Amino acid sequence: MEFRVEDAIHWFTVVNDKIQENKENLTTLDQVIGDSDHGINMARGFQEVVNKLSTQEYEEVADVLNHVAMTLISKVGGASGPLFGTAFLKFSQAVKGINPVDYDSFTKGLEEALQGVKQRGKAKLGEKTMIDVWSPVVDVFQSEKGFEDNLFIEVAREAMENTKHIMATKGRAAYFKEKSIGHIDPGSASTYMIFEALAEVIKGRK
């Protein structure tokens, strides 16, 4: 399967639907080990992404991703804004000029996105951040040969659930130390939704 502009647009439309639907849930997660704004932040950002997506013309997938990145950077704020922004910016740069995006390029894009998040956030796997979902998802992309929607969802969901058991050392949740254990990381929950949306869009295309 190849990933086209309309798939990308579809992807972020579904992401936005999920985020809006789960706005309160995400905020509640952030209430426990953060500052009660993650759902609000994400909902503001992705609403803006989608508002513009429908009014613009894109030549290639990289353009959509760039648009998403710039909108998130300028609308989300907090920790998650620059991190998701950086992710999609790096993704966009990695697939620039490749249209439609094939599986390997898509994988490469995700690798770059993950690298971007790690560098920007000075964090690594196992610190109870969105990296804990990005990283296993990138792994499964690398180990597979083509889009495996159900597998992606499964891996992403499990990774998200696993953040429960981690003690946070980066981001705001780090202040909660041991008390951060037992709760899902909000940014991991929204990252899960991004990959769940991707899987659904791919599944729909099949």
Residues at the interface with Mg ion (CB under 5 A) = 30, 34-35, 37-38, 78
The rounded radius of gyration (Å) of the Cα atoms in the chain is 16
Residues in contact with another protein, shown as a per-residue x/- string from 143 to 172 under the rule CB under 8 A: --------------------------xxxx
Which residues ranging from 163 to 192 are in contact with ligand ADP (CB under 6 A)?
170-172, 185-188
Number of residues that bind ligand ADP (CB under 6 A): 24
Residues in contact with ligand ADP, shown as a per-residue x/- string from 26 to 55 under the rule CB under 6 A: ----x---xx-xx--x--------------
Q: Whole-angstrom Cα distance, residue 130 to residue 86?
A: 13
Q: Whole-angstrom Cα distance, residue 117 to residue 128?
A: 13
Amino acid sitting at position 112: E
Q: What are phi and psi of 3, to 5 degrees?
A: -105, 120
Residues in contact with ligand ADP, shown as a per-residue x/- string from 53 to 82 under the rule CB under 6 A: -------------------------xxx--
- 177 interface partner picked from ligand ADP, another protein, Mg ion, none, CB below 5 to 8 A per type: another protein
Closer of 23 and 172 to ligand ADP (Cβ): 172
* 3-class secondary structure, 55: coil
Amino acid sitting at position 134: W
Q: Whole-angstrom Cα distance, residue 87 to residue 91?
A: 6
